[in-house]
Amino acid sequence: MDADSRTHIILVHGACHGAWCWFKVATRLSSAGHRITTPDLAASGVDPRPLREVPTFRDYTQPLLDILASLPPGEKAVLVGHSLGGMNIALASELFPEKVAAAVFLAAFMPDHTLRPSHVLERVKSADMMDTEIKPQDPEGKAANILPVRAAGHTTEGLPVVFFRGVFPNLTTKGLPIAELRSIATGEAERKVCGFSNRVAGTMWQDLTLGASLMRVSSLFLEDLELQQPYSEDRYGSVRKVYIVCKEDLAIIEAYQRWMMEKNPVQEVKELDGADHMAMLSRPDELAHCLTNIAKKYA
């Protein structure tokens, strides 16, 4: 298949992650004949910059914006944003609406075009649904909300607290109470860690080990986003949108995903049964199939 004729899908990771988190889905989509781009946002993945050198959300998003700016005239791409990545594809849609075939929000934050983009993050903060800042706490870039978890013969180092909130209510930055660690070891709670619901334990721990070695400190850039004006109806609002609901998400819960759609209706809603927050790891086949169908319809 000629490269120029293939549907271009750009997969955008969330906070703390990088292009690496898409490895299962990107492989499947490429095999299906799509052209896949998986950028590392600033201070993420293999991008060499430390977070302290990325002062604004636009700076953080710049690698994605550079990709869109480089597309030839008339070429469009399907943007897929996961988690905080929804905010990145929203900004990209505001700046380059003519280059976006569709904006796909995968269990992602999705702003509307009437309120400041920070609104969807502020509401989460006020509801205490998840940690709102994952950022360096010292000059070396080490984060206070990073903890090791050791159980059932497995060790995960450096996983942000945000992926455990709502699973272990007594969790602190010092670690987990022994009773709850024991529940992991007996299998009673490990299926929920990081929202990995109903996962095969071995696969889950493989993904956790990968994440622990590659995740980096990040931020929601809330202070910066609070200063931004609402995105416009004739630019961001004109881009066709699809929302993929992850029904067992423990980080951005289903009710909140649907609340964002009530505030900003989309062209189509798709659901992934059994998918946790990290659907690209827990349900790669189903997600790749879903994205293929979206690309056929909108690209």
Closest by Cα among 89, 36, 22 to 279: 22
Active-site pick, 83, 93, 197, 282: 83
Q: Could you tell me how far CA 128 lies from the centroid of its own chain? A: 19
277 is catalytic: yes
Residue 194 vs residues 130, 146, 248, 288, 299: alpha-carbon distances, Å: 12, 13, 11, 21, 32
Question: Which tokens hold the place of 103?
Answer: 């904006």
User: Quick count: other Cβ atoms within 10 Å of Cβ 94?
Assistant: 21
Three-state SS for the chain is CCHHHCCEEEEECCCCCCHHHHHHHHHHHHHCCCEEECCCCCCCCCCCCCHHHCCCHHHHHHHHHHHHHHCCCCCCEEEEEECCHHHHHHHHHHHCHHHEEEEEEECCCCCCCCCCCCHHHHHHHHHCCCCCCCCCCCCCCCCCCEEEEEECCEEEEEEEHHHCCCCCCCCECCECCHHHHHHHHCCCCHHHHHHCCCCCHHHHHHHHHHHHHHCCCCCCCHHHHCCCCCCCCCCHHHCCEEEEEECCCCCCCHHHHHHHHHHCCCCEEEEECCCCCCHHHHCHHHHHHHHHHHHHHHC
Active site amino acids: 83, 249, 277
